[in-house]
Amino acid sequence: MFVLGSIGLLFYYDSRLDRIDALPAYAGRPSDTPGTNWLIVGTDSRSDLSDAQRTNLSTGDADGSRTDTIMLVHNPPGTGKATVVSIPRDLYVEIPGHGSLKVNASYNIGGPALLVQTVENLTGIHIDHYAEIGFGGFDTLVDAVGGVDMCIDQPLNDPKAGLKLAKGCHHLNGRQALGLVRTRAFPRADLERVINQRKFLAALVSRATSPAVLFNPFRLFGFIGGAIDSLTVDERDHIWNLASLMFALRDPVTTTTPTGESVYTDDGLALPVTETTEEFFGRLRAGQPIPDELLVDAG
């Protein structure tokens, strides 16, 4: 009975996932590449937030939806560590059918499908799975596991993100965690923010896979329910794919896409793709180890 109940619960939660066709076929799409590749996207969508939630979370009232976070997660075949690659939203790339623009414009123009195609065009890597989370539900997801522990190496004060933290280690609730992954109040702006986004992802996975959550039904089912309510995945993805991703992220290699220095473009100040960028993704695409000199802000 326990086994049957567990299987039934698994399929119940799987049936509740919000799904879209994020990975449609198109001419020239890269063929399968070694390992399993996820595209994880965080958007600034406020469409499912009430006025009170927008005020409490300091999200503002902007309409539409843009990508605040773009991460490629490459889980290699065999026993190697997963690699989490932040793709800066200001990376200047070719967006199929729209010319050269910053990569986050692809989502605003054509949603998840065009973003996936743009990333595949940039990297040559076949994306197998897609997961997206917006502002709505983010704080609930963090609070469901009882908050996350993170350390920061400088004080942060960003009224726009509703964030004020002293230098040092903190136990963050959902509102604070959302502010931390949103803030660009750094000298390096988005390049510093993506580091904190990866730190947060590691902290959330660490907490969610800890005994304090796994062996506490109230925490565990709260987290599972929060994740399902917060996430949008490709129509071919399932809850067991998400579980596999979570355990792959317990001890990954993390890095930011190597780029050139900022240059002025037709789309404003942006980060150019260089030979180093191409070498980096070429190695990842071939399943080869990434040398230290190609890892940027690694952890």
247-299, pLDDT tens digit by residue? Answer: 888 889 999 999 999 899 988 889 999 999 999 999 999 888 899 999 988 76
Binned at pLDDT 50, 70 and 90, residue 54 comes out as very low
**pLDDT (mean) for 193-221:** 87
Which residue shows structure tokens 């390049």? 191
- Tell me which of 297 and 32 has the higher pLDDT: 32
- Tell me which of 180 and 48 has the higher pLDDT: 180
- Burial (0-12, 13-18, 19+ Cβ within 10 Å), 158: middle
- Pairwise CA distance, residues 152 & 180, whole Å: 10
At 100, the amino acid letter reads: S
In this structure, of 71-80, 173-182, 213-222, the range with the lowest mean pLDDT score is 173-182
- Pairwise CA distance, residues 29 & 25, whole Å: 7
pLDDT of residue 48: 52
Q: Strand, helix or coil at 259?
A: coil
Tokens for 128, please give them.
């197998």
Give Cα separations from 118 to 33, 64, 69 (angstroms): 16, 20, 15
**pLDDT (mean) for 125-145:** 84
Report whether pLDDT(170) > 50. Answer: yes
Mean pLDDT of the chain: 84
Write out pLDDT tens, residues 147-166: 999 888 888 888 877 778 88
Contacts 24+ apart (CB under 8 A), 276-285: 281/122, 281/123, 281/124, 281/125, 281/257, 282/124, 284/74, 284/83, 284/85, 284/123, 284/125, 285/33, 285/123, 285/124, 285/125
Binned at pLDDT 50, 70 and 90, residue 187 comes out as low
pLDDT of residue 182: 78
Nearest to 83 by CA among 148, 21, 34: 34
Tokens for 188, please give them.
């390096």
The predicted model scores a pTM of 0.86
> Are the C-beta atoms of residues 256 and 86 closer than 8 Å to each other?
yes
Query: Read out DSSP for 75-87?
Result: E-STTPPPEEEE-
